[in-house]
Each structure stands twice: as structure tokens, then as C-alpha cells.
């Protein structure tokens, strides 16, 4: 059954008319892998791409290259234009910020904001539902107290770029855009959706055009059958599917001995009076540097371990908080010239497929997040890392830290040093 299981995960089984517009060393069709999910009755599979740095660990440089390729597809933005970039939570928050950063580098006047599912101070500009998601409710927050500020850049641009990892029908985007247009100064502002993958049908594309929304992507195609299930391709697949489970119940001293450092670094108050949690989830200007030397402090801590160019470092963001940790990961990669990979925890429960495609998700762990009823997940945990750096914008409980330490220090692998950073 081994070969058949792998074949089920090929994107060609689900998508017709595939076209790819990325450099071959950045993204190919083999990098888009289909995975099973048991928690969504609307569609029992999802597409995971290996270049994005969300579910599957990847070199930070590759994510930056992916974004450069994506921005190359946006032909309607010119130097000097006023643009608002909106990154969709949870998966595309880092992509949205990186698109804004790249546009600013190319001479565009950019403001960036992300949608969120978190409780954020400010004004809730738009509520909308994400149809294909496991966690459907989202909102777009801007700074303010009671009344919507008329001078907010989010309300006064003439071009809006929505960044997503995947567009299926586009109904979520239409839902959000129609509500946002009601609040804008320029009711006929241009909207562009930039996504890694776009699976819209001809009818979906027409609805975009009717709503004056253009779409660009790195990969496009059309879903063969919206009602298709993975088991329709291979009925034997059920035998190979295993849900992700939590770690061992008793951790304690075993996990604690691997935790090298646990630090809180303050976000640069010269940029914002708010915490980074608030800053990234409301409108702000892109930043290309590494604020408050957090990257240098982490790199110094890694150097104490004696890491060399043959060493391995895993940097982990937490759910929506991916942009800042990804930038730190790239700083480590550029400075230490060692093997660095980045990914993040997620709310998405994705099943493990036994004997599945080894380039995709091969293992995972369910984590307890303090103050939250639903669980969090982390995939492709590799033992034998020299250092794992977990960067969060909210405090991590001892239980959460111990669970991660235990997950990365299993079997007979060498001890992995865990560094936890809370950027406040």
C-alpha cells in the first residue's frame, strides 16, 4: 500500500490545468502535498506547501524568495503608490508582512495589517467568516478607541492587496471585501488577491471580476470535483490515517533539564508604544530590521552552546505570530551560516498518514496552550537538533514549554538545547 498512499497525496489527483509561475528552486508542484484532515466535513483534505514555513520546516531564505516571486506577479502596483496589504490569519500573516516589506523595498508606500482570531485592543473594522477553515471567525482590527479614525491609512488607500496561502472559491475574500468597502473613503478602491495557490473555477473567477477583484498566484488550477474525498482515490487510505496525539503525561525533570534559557525581551518602544502582540495585529509600517537587537541576543545565546557551521537550529513561531520569528530565523541563518529551519505551531489538526509522502507532514504533537480550550499542534519534529528556539508574543506556560522540550528530546537522539523567548 506504500506507493498507493504516496500517490494519494499528489496535487494532480485533485487539481486540473495546473500552472506554476515560481522559480524551480523556490516552488514546484512536488512541493504541494495533499494531507488528510478529519475535522472538516466540507473537505477532508488540505494542501500544504513546503516553501511557506508554516506546517513544514523550511529554510528562512526560501520563504523570502517565495515572497519575492509572489510580488513579481503583482503587476498593477507602481513605485510611489499608496497600498494597504492585508495578511490573512492564521497561515498567511508572515507572508502578508513579507509582501509589504518587499513592496516597500521596491518603492511602494505600504501599510500592513493582518486579520486575527485573537482578542486585540482597538476597533473591530470588519468581522467575516472563513468558509473552509476549522476556525471560521476572523476580524480586521485597527488602532483606535471608540470611533473609527477617518485618517486611518487602512481606510484611505486606493489599492488593497490581500495575501493568502490558498484561494479555493474566493467566497471568504468577497465576504470580507464587500464589508470593508462600506468603510472605505474610496469606494472603488482596487483589490488584488495574491496567493501561493489559487484553485478557483471559471465561475469563481467571474465572481471576482464582478466584484472588481483581481487575483495573482504562483500556482493555479481548478479543483476536479468539490465533493471528492481522499478515500475516493484510494479506499485503503483509512487504514493509514492516524490523528495527532499529545505527548507523555509525565514530563517534569526530563523536559526541564533540556531547557537552556527562558528570557523575555522587550519590543522596541521607538517603533510602537504597544506590545508586539498589539503592533502586528493592527496597522503598521513594514520594518526591515531586527528591533531592539533581539536577534543578536538570541544569536549570542546560541553561540554559548558552541554551534558551528555544521550545527542545526530550529526556530518556531506561535500560531499567528510568525513574521517576527521568521525574520529572527533568517538573521540566525545569515549570521551563523548553519542549517536553520523555521515553522510554527497551528490550530489546524492534520492527520498523519503512515507510509505517506516523506516530503510532507510525517509526525506531530498536540500541545496545551494556556487559557485556551482548543489545542495547538506542531508538525515534523526532528530529534537531533542542536538548538530549538521558540519565539512567542505571549507568555508560554511551563507545561507548554515542557511539552515542546519533551517532543524534541525523544528516543536516543543527542540532547537538544531549548531556548524560549517571549517578545513582549
Q: What is the 3-state secondary structure (H, E, C) of 168-183?
A: CCCHHHHHHHHHHHCC
Mean pLDDT score, 252-256: 42
Long-range contacts of 22-29, Cβ-Cβ distance < 8 Å, separation of 24 or more: 22/66, 22/69, 22/218, 22/219, 23/65, 23/69, 25/65, 26/51, 26/62, 26/65, 26/66, 26/69, 27/51, 27/66, 27/69, 27/196, 27/218, 27/219, 29/219
344: β partners:
317
Domain end among 233, 262, 288: 233
Predicted pLDDT at 131 = 63
Residue 124 domain-assigned? yes
Is 408 domain-assigned?
A: yes
326 φ, ψ (degrees, to nearest 5): -65, -40
Instruction: Report the C-alpha gap between 411 and 46 in whole angstroms.
Output: 30
- Mean predicted confidence (pLDDT) in 279-286: 86
For residues 222 and 277, membership in a common domain is answered with no
Q: Tell me whether strands 213-223 and 15-20 are parallel, antiparallel or unpaired.
A: antiparallel
Task: Note whether 208 and 63 are same-domain residues.
Answer: yes
- Is residue 248 one of the residues assigned to a domain? no
Does the pLDDT at position 249 exceed 50?
A: no
63 or 417, which is more confident? 63
Residues 266 and 217 in one domain: no
Q: Which residues of 132-157 are buried (b: 16+ CB within 10 A; e: fewer)?
A: ebbeeebbbbbbeeeeeeeebbbbeb
Residue 119 CA: distances (Å) to CA of 53, 264, 278, 410: 25, 21, 9, 35
Residues 227 and 291 in one domain: no
Q: Among residues 164, 198, 233, which one ends one of the domains?
A: 233
Residues 205 and 272 in one domain: no
Query: In terms of DSSP bridges, do strands 364-367 and 352-353 run parallel, antiparallel, or are they unpaired?
Result: unpaired
Query: Does 92 reside within a domain?
Result: yes
Give the C-alpha separation, 30 to 12, whole Å.
Answer: 10
Residue 32: predicted pLDDT = 97
Same domain, 213 and 270: no
Q: What is the pLDDT of residue 414?
A: 55
Model confidence pLDDT, tens digit, residues 333-366: 999 888 999 999 999 999 998 888 889 999 888 8
The whole-number pLDDT of residue 382 equals: 82
The pLDDT assigned to 254 comes to 41
140-154, 252-266, 272-286, 391-405: the lowest-pLDDT one: 252-266
pLDDT confidence tier of residue 302, bands split at 50, 70 and 90: confident
In this structure, are 132 and 269 located in the same domain? Answer: no
Which of 27-31, 111-115, 249-253 shows the lowest mean pLDDT across its residues? 249-253
Check whether 73 has a pLDDT greater than 90: yes
The answer to whether 380 touches 360, Cβ cutoff 8 Å, is no
Q: Which residue has the cell 524568495?
A: 65
Q: Are 16 and 245 in contact (CB under 8 A)?
A: no
**Stretch 311-330: mean pLDDT:** 93
User: Could you tell me the three cell numbers for 175?
Assistant: 465576504
In three-state secondary structure terms, 101 is helix
Lowest mean pLDDT among 141-155, 198-212, 332-346, 401-415: 401-415
> Does the residue 156 lie in any domain?
yes
Q: Residue 207 falls within a domain, yes or no?
A: yes
How far is the C-alpha of 143 from the C-alpha of 282, rounded, in Å? 6
DSSP assignment of 288-339 = -S-GGGHHHHHHHHHHHTT--TT-EEEEEEETTB-HHHHHHHHHHHHHH-SE
* Domain boundaries, position 181: 2-233
Where do we find the cell 538545547?
Answer: 417
pLDDT in tens, 191-225: 999 999 999 999 999 999 999 999 999 999 999 99
For residue 364, what are the CA distances in angstroms to 230, 346, 391?
20, 11, 19
Among the candidates 233, 263, 291, a domain finishes at 233
Q: Which residue has the higher pLDDT, 147 or 372?
A: 147
* pLDDT score of 9: 92
**Does one domain contain both 190 and 284?**
no
- Structure confidence at residue 403 (pLDDT): 82
Do residues 312 and 391 share a domain?
yes
Residue at 246 is within a domain: no
| pLDDT reading at 79 higher than 60 | yes
The arithmetic mean of pLDDT across residues 78-102, rounded, is 96
Of 282, 286, 271, which Cα lies nearest the Cα of 89?
A: 282
Q: Note the pLDDT of residue 356.
A: 86
Identify which of 94, 424, 113 has the alpha carbon closest to the alpha carbon of residue 273: 424
pLDDT value, residue 274? 62
- pLDDT tops 70 at residue 187: yes
Instruction: Mean pLDDT check: name the lowest of 15-24, 194-203, 246-255, 302-311.
Output: 246-255
d(CA 63, CA 319): 17
Q: What pTM does this model have? A: 0.92
Q: Pick 282 or 110 by higher pLDDT.
A: 110
- Which residues are 367's β-sheet partners? 376
**What percent of the chain lies above the pLDDT cut of 90?**
52
Measured distance between the N- and C-terminal CA atoms of the chain, rounded to whole angstroms: 49
| Higher pLDDT pick, 301 / 310 | 301
If you average pLDDT over residues 142-156, what whole number do you get?
88
Number of domains in the chain: 2
Residues 229 and 295 in one domain: no
Q: Mean pLDDT for the chain?
A: 86
Identify whether residues 207 and 260 lie together within a single domain.
no
Give the pLDDT band (50/70/90) at residue 51.
Answer: very high
* CATH number of the domain enclosing 109: 3.40.50.2020
Measured torsion, CA atoms of residues 324, 391, 265, 370, in degrees rounded to the nearest 10: 120
| 307, pLDDT greater than 60 | yes
Kindly state the percentage of the chain with pLDDT values over 70: 86
CB-based burial of residue 90 (10 Å sphere; 0-12 exposed, 13-18 middle, 19+ buried)? buried
Between the CA of residue 355 and those of 30, 35, 231, what are the distances in Å? 17, 13, 16
Residues 23 and 87 in one domain: yes
Is residue 82 one of the residues assigned to a domain? yes
Amino acid at each position: 500500500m506504500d506507493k498507493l498512499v504516496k500517490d494519494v497525496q499528489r496535487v494532480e489527483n485533485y487539481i486540473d490545468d495546473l500552472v506554476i509561475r515560481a522559480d524551480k528552486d523556490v516552488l514546484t508542484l512536488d512541493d504541494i502535498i495533499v494531507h488528510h484532515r478529519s475535522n472538516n466535513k466540507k473537505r477532508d483534505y488540505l494542501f500544504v506547501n513546503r516553501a511557506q514555513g508554516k506546517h513544514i520546516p523550511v529554510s528562512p531564505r526560501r520563504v523570502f524568495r517565495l515572497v519575492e516571486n509572489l510580488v513579481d506577479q503583482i503587476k498593477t502596483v507602481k513605485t510611489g503608490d499608496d497600498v494597504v496589504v492585508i495578511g490573512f490569519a492564521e497561515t498567511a500573516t508572515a507572508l502578508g508582512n513579507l509582501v509589504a516589506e518587499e513592496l516597500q523595498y521596491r518603492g511602494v508606500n505600504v501599510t500592513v495589517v493582518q486579520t486575527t482570531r485573537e482578542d486585540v485592543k482597538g476597533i473591530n473594522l470588519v468581522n467575516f467568516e472563513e468558509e473552509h477553515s476549522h476556525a471560521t471567525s476572523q476580524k480586521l482590527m485597527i488602532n483606535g478607541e471608540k470611533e473609527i479614525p477617518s485618517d486611518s491609512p487602512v481606510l484611505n488607500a486606493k489599492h488593497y492587496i490581500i495575501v493568502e496561502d490558498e484561494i479555493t472559491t474566493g467566497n471568504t475574500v468577497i465576504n470580507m471585501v464587500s464589508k470593508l468597502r462600506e468603510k472605505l473613503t474610496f469606494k472603488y478602491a482596487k483589490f488584488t488577491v495574491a496567493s501561493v495557490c489559487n484553485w478557483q473555477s471559471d465561475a469563481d473567477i467571474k465572481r471576482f471580476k464582478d466584484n472588481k477583484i483581481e487575483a495573482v498566484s504562483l500556482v493555479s488550477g481548478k479543483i476536479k470535483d468539490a465533493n471528492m474525498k481522499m478515500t475516493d482515490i484510494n479506499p485503503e487510505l483509512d487504514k493509514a490515517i492516524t490523528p495527532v496525539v499529545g505527548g507523555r503525561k509525565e514530563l517534569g525533570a526530563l523536559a526541564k533539564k533540556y531547557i537552556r534559557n527562558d528570557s523575555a525581551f522587550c519590543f522596541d518602544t521607538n517603533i510602537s508604544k504597544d506590545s508586539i502582540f498589539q503592533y502586528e495585529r493592527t496597522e503598521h509600517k513594514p520594518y526591515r530590521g531586527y528591533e531592539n537587537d533581539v536577534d543578536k541576543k538570541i544569536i549570542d545565546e546560541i553561540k554559548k552552546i558552541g554551534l558551528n557551521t555544521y550545527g542545526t537550529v530550529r526556530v518556531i513561531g506561535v500560531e499567528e505570530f510568525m513574521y517576527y520569528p521568521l525574520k529572527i530565523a533568517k538573521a540566525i541563518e545569515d549570521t551563523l551560516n548553519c542549517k536553520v529551519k523555521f515553522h510554527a505551531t497551528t490550530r489546524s489538526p492534520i492527520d498523519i498518514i503512515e507510509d505517506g509522502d516523506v516530503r510532507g507532514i510525517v509526525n506531530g504533537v498536540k500541545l496545551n496552550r494556556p487559557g485556551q480550550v482548543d489545542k495547538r499542534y506542531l508538525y515534523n519534529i526532528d530529534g537531533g537538533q542542536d538548538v530549538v528556539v521558540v519565539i512567542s508574543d505571549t507568555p508560554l506556560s511551563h507545561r507548554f514549554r515542557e511539552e515542546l522540550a519533551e517532543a524534541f528530546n525523544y528516543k536516543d537522539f543527542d540532547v537538544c538545547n531549548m531556548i524560549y523567548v517571549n517578545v513582549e
